């Protein structure tokens, strides 16, 4: 559908006079046409793809003031500043304004002097302000960063939920939801809350072809040096953002970079509004600045020449990762998303989930999101393909612009193992989770297996060619690759239409050899033994290192005197379950087995 007649002339005139463009980008006309006709729409366009034009032009086309709901003060201030530069009378109301200033803005709106009003959701739904809105002539409601509406998403904000009232209190005013990243579950929730028809959802694609994805394993002892080396090799005197999990880490890493002659600053929610505003001004104006920040920084950032976005810690989900990396290369020039990850990151994130107080279905969702994000790091396939598949968009299996495509790792034919996994999901009627499915594959007659008579299935015991850890990695990768979905209420696996290609149409699946090959421990002298550790092994290693440190502190000795790293690695590989087995580990004598055996064996049992 294209704009016609007076609509097209009016829209193009506004586009040229106010924004300086002669024509719309692909997809913008259809969106603007729908809004101009009074329809509510959901818009998903990648960062830098022209989302703002989609509501700003029709807001000026329709009678009344456009009300834009924005989650951050800094974001609304930036957007109002940019609109004023374009000759549009835009204003914002937030907590930084004095009451006299707010009253003047209200008066100007009532007198028709304001084109667009930016407001936070918490202020918008204050009783007095909301009553005033109901008496005001409004052209449209635009909900910026609409992924904040979704409890399935990575950045849910409870104050956004009140936006549900708009469809009943303002039924004839268009509601425009805008975001750069949302998977199908999040998109459905956004449409439901705002009362938007599915056929009025516009998705222009999620790909950012100018961004190169590079993910490396973290060396916990020298992660700062890894970051500095990367910046020195690739981004001297360029603007970048570096994300960290905590306020303390932003300060430590920014300090380290400054000590090494980098123009680095930290940014987090614990800083005052004045301090954060100063950092934003520096970020906008300086061309070689590196902002080391928590996720408090970046939503709505529109600096075009950010050349790199680094993650020093694992993000909470692929959605969060894609949202944050999308702040690089808004000008379309080549840019890089670079990340360090490690099993310690997963454990930190899991701890935060446990401490957050979320329960039931939403806790399952957060854990599954985390596992999916970690699998993106582990997987050997094209990272761009994995990301785009996650958002429901098909993609070539070789983008030529991610580390896995540029520097491929060894892969093997995993078709038979994948068929076994998918067949087990099918035979159990898609009603069970990963641990039960693996018990069936391994031929374990657990109470649950016997209760459901699953030991009588044809798939019982067909997966003994792999270890439990390998099967867990394989199931995780099948989720990321789009062959399985997780039902959030009960955490069971569902087959996708794509899985039928493997089960019935002969599609071949190639995965990392580390997934499908048995790991055999040959003793201490095995070359690079740590490369044989699976995901579960690395997790256990981190747990045992922490326990070793606790034991060392109690005895007031260095950690290596409890167990050295070689002994600890052998413990992880062999996973002794009895004191007798524990004593067979190199470096474990009678006294150490007496002092530490039961403690370590208990940790091993808890991890299995």
Task: Write the pLDDT tens digit of every residue in 3-43.
Answer: 456 777 788 999 988 888 888 988 899 999 999 999 999 99
Q: Which CATH number fits domain 5-203: 3.40.50.2300, 3.40.250.10, 3.40.50.1980, 3.40.50.300?
A: 3.40.50.300
H or E stretch at 133 = helix 127-134
* Distance from chain centroid for Cα 101: 38
338: tokens are 């670079």
> Does the pLDDT value for residue 454 go beyond 90?
yes
Q: Among 171-185, 297-311, 436-450, 499-513, which range has the highest average pLDDT?
A: 436-450
pLDDT of residue 532: 59
> Does the pLDDT value for residue 243 go beyond 70?
yes
What is the spatial distance between Cα 177 and Cα 29, in angstroms, rounded to a whole number? 16
pLDDT of residue 521: 39
Superfamily of domain 529-607: HRDC domain (1.10.150.80)
The per-residue DSSP string of 370-403 comes to HHHHHHHHH--S-HHHHHHHHTT----S--SSBH
pLDDT of residue 513: 73
Instruction: Specify the higher pLDDT residue, 531 or 89.
Output: 89
> Does the pLDDT value for residue 345 go beyond 90?
no
What is the spatial distance between Cα 247 and Cα 188, in angstroms, rounded to a whole number? 33
> Does the pLDDT value for residue 306 go beyond 90?
yes
> Does the pLDDT value for residue 528 go beyond 60?
no
pLDDT of residue 152: 53
pLDDT of residue 526: 35
Question: How is domain 211-406 classified at the CATH fold level?
Answer: Rossmann fold (3.40.50)
What is the spatial distance between Cα 222 and Cα 234, in angstroms, rounded to a whole number? 19
Any idea which architecture 411-516 has in CATH? Answer: Orthogonal Bundle (1.10)
pLDDT of residue 430: 93
Instruction: Specify the higher pLDDT residue, 69 or 180.
Output: 69
Indicate the range of 11-15, 94-98, 439-443, 447-451 predicted with least confidence: 94-98
pLDDT of residue 523: 37
pLDDT of residue 522: 36
pLDDT of residue 4: 54
Task: Write the pLDDT tens digit of every residue in 272-289.
Answer: 988 988 998 899 889 899
What's the pLDDT band for 223 if we cut at 50, 70, 90?
very high
Whether the Cβ atoms of residue 461 and residue 401 lie closer than 8 Å to each other: no
5-203 with 211-406: one CATH topology? yes
What is the spatial distance between Cα 215 and Cα 229, in angstroms, rounded to a whole number? 15
List of long-range contacts for 79-82, beta carbons under 8 Å, 24+ apart: 79/52, 79/118, 79/300, 80/116, 80/118, 82/302
Coil, strand or helix at 263: coil
> Does the pLDDT value for residue 529 go beyond 60?
no
Per cent of the chain over pLDDT 70 is: 94
Per the confidence metrics, is the pTM higher than 0.85? no
Pick from 371, 378, 53: which is nearest to 218 by CA? 378
What residue segments make up the domains of the chain, in order of their start?
5-203, 211-406, 411-516, 529-607
Task: Write the pLDDT tens digit of every residue in 74-128.
Answer: 778 888 988 998 889 999 998 888 999 999 999 999 999 999 999 988 889 999 9
Residue partners of 182: CB distance under 8 A and separation at least 6: 44, 146, 147, 150, 153, 190, 319, 391
């Amino acid at each position: 559908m294209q704009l016609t007649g007076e609509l097209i002339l009016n829209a193009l005139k506004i586009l040229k006079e106010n924004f300086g463009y002669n024509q719309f980008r692909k997809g913008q006309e259809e969106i603007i046409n729908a809004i101009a006709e009074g329809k509510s729409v959901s818009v998903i366009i990648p960062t830098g793809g022209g989302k703002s034009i989609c509501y700003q032009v029709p807001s000026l086309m329709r009678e009344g003031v456009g009300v834009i709901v924005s989650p951050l003060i800094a974001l609304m201030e930036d957007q109002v500043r940019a609109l004023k530069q374009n000759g549009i009378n835009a204003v914002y109301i937030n907590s930084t304004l004095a009451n006299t200033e707010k009253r003047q803005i209200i008066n100007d709106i009532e007198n028709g002097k304001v084109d667009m009003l930016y407001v936070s959701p918490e202020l918008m739904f204050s009783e007095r302000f909301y009553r005033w809105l109901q008496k005001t002539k409004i052209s449209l409601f635009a909900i910026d960063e609409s992924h904040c509406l979704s409890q399935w998403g990575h950045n849910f904000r409870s104050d956004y939920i009140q936006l549900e009232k708009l469809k009943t209190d303002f039924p004839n005013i268009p509601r425009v939801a805008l975001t750069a990243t949302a998977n199908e579950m999040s998109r459905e929730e956004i449409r439901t809350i705002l009362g938007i028809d599915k056929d009025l959802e516009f998705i222009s694609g999620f790909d950012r072809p100018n961004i190169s994805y590079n993910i490396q394993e973290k060396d916990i002892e020298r992660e700062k040096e890894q970051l500095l080396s990367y910046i020195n090799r690739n981004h001297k005197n360029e603007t970048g953002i570096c994300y960290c999990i905590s306020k303390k880490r932003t300060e430590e890493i920014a300090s380290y970079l400054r000590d090494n002659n980098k123009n680095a600053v930290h940014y987090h929610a614990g800083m005052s509004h004045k301090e954060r505003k100063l950092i934003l001004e520096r970020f906008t104006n300086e061309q070689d600045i590196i902002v080391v920040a928590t996720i408090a920084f970046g939503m709505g950032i529109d600096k075009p020449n950010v050349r790199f976005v680094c993650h020093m810690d694992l993000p909470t989900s692929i959605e969060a990762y894609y949202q944050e990396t999308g702040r690089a290369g808004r000008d379309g020039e080549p840019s890089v998303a670079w990340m360090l990850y490690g099993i310690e990151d997963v454990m930190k994130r899991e701890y935060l989930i446990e401490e957050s107080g979320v329960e039931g279905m939403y806790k399952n969702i957060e854990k599954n999101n985390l596992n999916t994000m970690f699998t993106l790091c582990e997987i050997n396939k094209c990272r761009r393909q994995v990301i785009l598949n996650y958002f429901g968009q098909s993609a070539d299996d070789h983008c030529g612009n991610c580390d896995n495509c540029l520097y491929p790792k060894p892969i093997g034919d995993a078709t038979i193992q994948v068929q076994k996994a998918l067949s087990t999901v099918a035979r159990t009627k898609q009603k069970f989770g990963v641990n039960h499915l693996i018990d069936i594959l391994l031929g374990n007659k657990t109470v649950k297996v016997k209760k459901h008579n699953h030991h009588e299935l044809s798939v019982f015991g067909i997966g003994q060619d792999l270890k439990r850890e390998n099967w867990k990695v394989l199931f995780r990768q099948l989720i990321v690759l789009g062959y399985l979905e997780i039902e959030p209420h009960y955490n069971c696996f569902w087959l996708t239409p794509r899985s039928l290609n493997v089960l019935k149409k002969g599609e071949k699946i190639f995965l990392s050899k580390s997934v499908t090959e048995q790991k055999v421990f040959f003793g201490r002298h095995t070359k690079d033994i740590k490369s044989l550790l699976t995901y579960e092994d690395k997790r256990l290693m981190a747990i045992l290192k922490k326990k070793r440190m606790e034991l060392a502190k109690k005895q007031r000795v260095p950690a290596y005197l409890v167990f050295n790293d070689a002994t600890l690695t052998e413990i992880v590989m062999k996973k002794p379950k009895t004191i007798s087995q524990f004593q067979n580990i190199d470096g474990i004598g009678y006294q150490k087995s007496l002092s530490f055996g039961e403690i370590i064996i208990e940790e091993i049992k808890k991890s299995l």
